[in-house]
Amino acid sequence: MARFLITSALPYINGIKHLGNLVGSQLPADLHARYMRARGHEVMFICATDEHGTPAELAAARTGEPVADYCARMHAVQEGLARGFGLSFDHFGRSSSPQNAALTQHLAARLGAAGLIEQVAEEQVYSPADGRFLPDRYITGTCPACGYENARGDQCENCTKQLDPTDLINPRSAISGATNLEVRETRHLFLRQSALRERLDAWIDRQSGWPVLTTSIAKKWLHDGDGLQDRGITRDLDWGIPAQFDGAPWNGMEGKVFYVWFDAPIEYIAATAEWAEAHGLPDADWRRWWRTDEGADDVRYIQFMGKDNVPFHTLGFPATLMGSGEPWKLVDYIKSFNYLNYDGGQFSTSQGRGVFMDQALELLPGDYWRWWLLSHAPESGDSEFTWESFQAGVNKDLADVLGNFVSRVTKFCRTRFGETVPEGAAPDPRAQELTAALQAGLTRYEAAMDAIAIRRAAAELRALWVLGNEYLQDAAPWSTIKSDPDTAAMQIRMGLNLIRLYAVLSQPFLPDAAKRLMDALDCNDWSWPEDIAAALATLPPGHAFTVPDTLFAKITDDQRADWAARFAGTRS
């Protein structure tokens, strides 16, 4: 038994996430966490909301709430949606927690003491009307290159030219529209990532088997141009972790907070501390996951994230931990994902394009989405959600192959033997053949799951379901019962035990359906099969069960057309 620390990239507090966000981090992380637990490993699965930064402040301002209230409310909303999708976090924390503030300040102080933080004076655009400094993208104006009137300060969306806010003609605040902008000098803390470049580079080189997507992005940032650049880790904002605090090795940072990309990854650790507090456990209980000098030496730490998050997890966060000079646990494997597109374009939070988590759950339970999303996870390239594909995947895989198998076995048994596992003969050669095929398939499934090859794992799981239908077709208990009731009974006994086996094996993908199957079978033995023959004898003759309700309902053509039309436009 090993110990697995699993973190999912933190969803930003600003609004409800769409299915692309879900499949890019939280969902695959959950799959892995559930699988590892099922295999008997000790797992700590951590996620949290990322709550600081300008967008949170602006979103709160729009609803008229104090930002802290807004974040608390949205955290609860996201937590509820996570539950709806069956996300089995050990703790779903908040980057605004006191634990994160303390740890962020602690690490910053350590970095400062190590000479890895310096103060840099910068000029930034300030908007007196808004009472705040404006990030580049919150300044709009006319593009000097193409004349586009709504160009952003970082880049013109029309001609894609990289811009500096001061390049814009007639610049104005994207927040208030104010045009009386001025350039002010402000001082910020910079993390001297460049000083850690060699260590980071060597550390990346030491990793093996990481997705190309992960290492290529890290290498690009390490070696492109002048190499890894130092990064500002503070901002002129109110909402965040104060950059000036007791024990800080610098002065003059009053009124400034740490930048979200500095404190958000630290929340992985802090959320584990939150977990300990929530369970009334001592600090040692969370530190054994994160401090290699306090027990984390045998921990395997795996992170899940979309490709946009890779630089911060391969460079920024490791730089923070390495630079602290303290023995913090570094990530062992980074599973990164491409993007899921929506019907020919991108999912877009800002434009409300695509299906959002709350909307998805209004249409269908979480398992339907989990299956399609995971079996189409954008591992090797961007993938695309279409309603046709979703309908086909759900109907064929879940309703026909798995759901109908359960239905035909349980209903046949009820009709011919009653709702108890029938006695019957001992397994015959055909049943042993099935057992062997399942054993081989299980090995392939486990290999894919161990390797976090998600689409392949889904295909292997489905192949196991198919074996049940093949066996049933071949054994044909509806036929054997006429001449050999004992054999028919054995065949159905196999079928009922197969359902339990499928519930156990499918649980990481389909937690809710698995639970319903086990409830119908009146079974609570979730032990992962070591030996298939033994696993298929778990439900003994005479064991009572009930025929479950339809496991997965099919998506009709009318529903598909209706949903496609409803989500064609933008979210209101």
Partner RNA sequence: GGGCCUGUAGCUCAAUUGGUCAGAGCAGAGCGCUCAUAACGCUUUGGUUGGGGGUUCGAGUCCCUCCGGGCCUACCA
Question: Of residues 195-224, which lie at the interface with RNA (CB under 7 A)?
Answer: 212-213, 216-217, 220-221, 224
Phi-psi sector, 131: left (phi>0), alpha (psi -120 to 50), beta: left
What is the C-alpha separation between 531 and 238, in angstroms, rounded? 59
Which residue lies nearer to RNA by CB, 87 or 377?
Answer: 377
Each residue 387-406 as x (binds RNA by CB under 7 A) or -, in order, gives --x--x---x--xxx-xx-x
Q: Report which residue type is found at 201.
A: D
By the rule CB under 7 A, 63 interacts with RNA? no
By the rule CB under 7 A, 566 interacts with RNA? no
Provide, rounded to whole angstroms, the least separation between the CB of residue 392 and RNA.
Answer: 4
Provide, rounded to whole angstroms, the least separation between the CB of residue 443 and RNA.
Answer: 15
What is the C-alpha separation between 390 and 373, in angstroms, rounded? 9
Which residue lies nearer to RNA by CB, 229 or 292?
Answer: 229
* Phi, psi angles (nearest 5°) of residue 38: -60, -30
Residues 485-544 interacting with RNA (rule: CB under 7 A): none
By the rule CB under 7 A, 318 interacts with RNA? no
Provide, rounded to whole angstroms, the least separation between the CB of residue 262 and RNA.
Answer: 10
Beta carbons of 127 and 54 less than 8 angstroms apart: no
Residues linked to residue 121 through DSSP beta bridges, in sequence order = 187
By the rule CB under 7 A, 479 interacts with RNA? yes
Which residue lies nearer to RNA by CB, 41 or 430?
Answer: 430
Binding-site size, RNA (CB under 7 A): 80
By the rule CB under 7 A, 352 interacts with RNA? no
Phi-psi sector, 476: left (phi>0), alpha (psi -120 to 50), beta: left
Residues 339, 340, 344: CA angle, nearest 5 degrees: 115
Which residue lies nearer to RNA by CB, 195 or 327?
Answer: 195
Give the pair of three-digit tokens for residue 415.
């009709």
Provide, rounded to whole angstroms, the least separation between the CB of residue 489 and RNA.
Answer: 14
Which residue lies nearer to RNA by CB, 179 or 216?
Answer: 216
Q: Which of 42, 72, 79, 124 binds RNA (CB under 7 A)?
A: 124
Beta carbons of 397 and 375 less than 8 angstroms apart: yes
Which residue lies nearer to RNA by CB, 4 or 11?
Answer: 11
The DSSP 8-state label assigned to residue 229 in this structure reads P
Which residue lies nearer to RNA by CB, 292 or 439?
Answer: 439
Q: Which of 176, 207, 359, 469 binds RNA (CB under 7 A)?
A: 469
Which residue lies nearer to RNA by CB, 360 or 488?
Answer: 488
Each residue 3-22 as x (binds RNA by CB under 7 A) or -, in order, gives ---------x----------
**How many of the other CB atoms lie within 10 Å of CB of 85?**
23
Nearest to 431 by CA among 490, 505, 509: 490
What is the C-alpha separation between 136 and 125, in angstroms, rounded? 8
Nearest to 358 by CA among 1, 11, 5: 11
Provide, rounded to whole angstroms, the least separation between the CB of residue 315 and RNA.
Answer: 7
Which of the ranges 32-40, 255-263, 365-373, 560-568 carries the binding residues for RNA, by CB under 7 A? Answer: 255-263
Which residue lies nearer to RNA by CB, 351 or 550?
Answer: 550
Provide, rounded to whole angstroms, the least separation between the CB of residue 197 and RNA.
Answer: 9
HSE, side-chain direction, 13 A CA sphere, residue 136 = 12
Provide, rounded to whole angstroms, the least separation between the CB of residue 83 and RNA.
Answer: 22
By the rule CB under 7 A, 360 interacts with RNA? no
Distance from the Cα of residue 495 to its chain's centroid:
34
Residues linked to residue 91 through DSSP beta bridges, in sequence order = 46
Residue 323, H or E segment: helix 317-323
Q: Which of 46, 257, 264, 322 binds RNA (CB under 7 A)?
A: 264
Give the pair of three-digit tokens for residue 401.
């192959």
Phi-psi sector, 170: left (phi>0), alpha (psi -120 to 50), beta: left
By the rule CB under 7 A, 50 interacts with RNA? yes
Residues 449-468 interacting with RNA (rule: CB under 7 A): 455-456, 459, 466
Q: Which of 7, 54, 105, 538 binds RNA (CB under 7 A)?
A: 54
Calculated CA dihedral for residues 478, 481, 482, 487, nearest 10 degrees: 130
Which residue lies nearer to RNA by CB, 286 or 304?
Answer: 304
Provide, rounded to whole angstroms, the least separation between the CB of residue 473 and RNA.
Answer: 4
Nearest to 496 by CA among 408, 433, 429: 408
Residues linked to residue 258 through DSSP beta bridges, in sequence order = 234
